[in-house]
């Protein structure tokens, strides 16, 4: 049985997914997915691969959170204060 970490790596190597997608695919809570993701990022780099994060983006003004270091979705846009934020999308390359 592969670890959740390895399953995340395998899933993201196949397709881009959000934390919610991963949560459904692995039957773990979305909150836990973020913990596993940061470990998966390290395992991936040990395997010569890389966790790629398409940064979250504000759906109202288009502001992109491209300097954000955390993997979680921000709650609101710093520019227009909107709360409609597109989730970050993860993949392994």
Place of tokens 């940061």: 38
**Shortest separation between residue 80's beta carbon and Zn ion, angstroms:** 3
Residue number, 34 or 63, with CB nearest to Zn ion: 63
Residues near Zn ion (CB under 5 A): 58, 60-61, 63, 77, 79-80, 82
**Shortest separation between residue 53's beta carbon and Zn ion, angstroms:** 19
Residue number, 29 or 70, with CB nearest to Zn ion: 70
**Shortest separation between residue 81's beta carbon and Zn ion, angstroms:** 7
| DSSP secondary structure string for all residues of the chain | ---HHHHHHHHHHHS-B-HHHHHHHHTS-HHHHHHHHHHHHHHHHHTT--EEEE--EETTT--B-TT--S-SPPSS-TTT----EEPPEEEE-
Residue number, 65 or 90, with CB nearest to Zn ion: 65
């Amino acid at each position: 049985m592969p670890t959740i970490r390895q399953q995340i790596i395998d899933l993201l190597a196949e397709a881009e997914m959000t934390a919610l997608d991963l949560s459904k695919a692995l039957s773990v809570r979305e909150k836990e997915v973020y913990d596993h993701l940061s470990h998966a990022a390290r395992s991936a780099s040990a395997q010569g691969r890389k966790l790629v994060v398409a940064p979250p983006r504000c759906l109202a003004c288009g502001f992109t959170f491209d300097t954000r270091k955390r993997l979680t979705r921000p709650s609101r846009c710093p520019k227009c204060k909107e709360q409609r934020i597109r989730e970050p999308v993860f993949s392994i390359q």
